[in-house]
Amino acid sequence: MKSNMADMVFEGLLRIADDNLILGHRTSEWCGHAPTLEEDLALPNIALDLIGHAQTLYCLACEINSRYKNEDQLAFLRLEHEYKNLLLVEQENGDFGNTVLRLFYFSTFMKYFWERVKIECCFTKLKEFSEKAFLETSYHSRYASQWVVTLGDGTDESNLKMSNAIANLEPFLGELFNNDDFTEMCSQNDFLPEPTSIFDSWKNEVKAILQKGNLDFPDIILKKRGGRKGEHSEAFGYLLSDLQYMQRAYPNSSW
């Protein structure tokens, strides 16, 4: 792989891996605290998938960039500005409705993303991985969509809470679909699809589900952004303090 191609693949893998790791981290915070025992089982299960995706992607990234010796160095030992995840995934969970709505937005996006990677990606190892990732994110999207409908349609209180969640997450959706020079380069090289190219499929599905839950589709304009450049929100520092605690407190140890 030529060095500029390698840089592109590395950065692209990091973006997706960081999204998955950080949302997996947030999702795992629910463990033992969910509204029902079934959800106490489902949410850690989804976190397991998301963090598992991150692990595979970091391993692929390490194969490309010899500066990093293993996946843990990428996951645990970078500085805040070196993480490239979306602001959407690092926000605190909020209530259960906010959590499932964010999961629905993200996993529906990723479902279409992986579907395109399956067909178009020039990087064989990622293309192979996308088969499994597509199936798992499709399941996450379905799980979350059922809750969005249930909570939207359920009671006046739950409908109000879901409307609040829509308003709360709205400023972060623009970044999900934001093309930049990097995403254009990835697309021109048949590596990753451009986020805007997924927008229509995503919008149709999200709109239909929100409608079933008597909820309004939000405006999607670029408001809060910065995650892709390593500019994160306040909440992210606390998340990293938990995530990195052991590796920082006991450096150079095997676990």
Residues that bind other proteins (CB under 8 A): 25, 28-29, 31-41, 44-45, 47-48, 51-52, 54-55, 58, 71-72, 75-76, 95-97, 149-151, 153-155, 157-158, 161, 242-243, 245-247, 250, 252-255
**Closer of 76 and 182 to other proteins (Cβ):** 76
**Closer of 111 and 161 to other proteins (Cβ):** 161
Least distance CB 116 / other proteins (angstroms): 26
**Closer of 36 and 124 to other proteins (Cβ):** 36
Least distance CB 30 / other proteins (angstroms): 9
Residue 4 and residue 56: Cα distance in Å, rounded? 22
What is the H or E stretch that residue 58 is in? Answer: helix 37-64
111 and 134 Cβ atoms separated by less than 8 Å: yes
Least distance CB 151 / other proteins (angstroms): 5
What is the H or E stretch that residue 63 is in? Answer: helix 37-64
Least distance CB 159 / other proteins (angstroms): 8
**Closer of 56 and 183 to other proteins (Cβ):** 56
DSSP string spanning 140-168? HHHHHHHHHHHHHHS-HHHHHHHHHHHHH
Long-range residue pairs from 219-226, CB within 8 A, at least 24 positions apart, any chain: 219/170, 220/170, 220/173, 220/174, 220/177, 221/174, 222/174, 222/175, 222/178, 223/170, 223/171, 223/172, 223/174, 224/87, 224/171, 224/172, 224/174, 224/175, 225/87, 225/174, 225/175, 225/178, 226/87, 226/175
**Closer of 97 and 195 to other proteins (Cβ):** 97
**Closer of 58 and 114 to other proteins (Cβ):** 58
- Token reading at 201: 């499929």
Least distance CB 137 / other proteins (angstroms): 17
Least distance CB 51 / other proteins (angstroms): 6
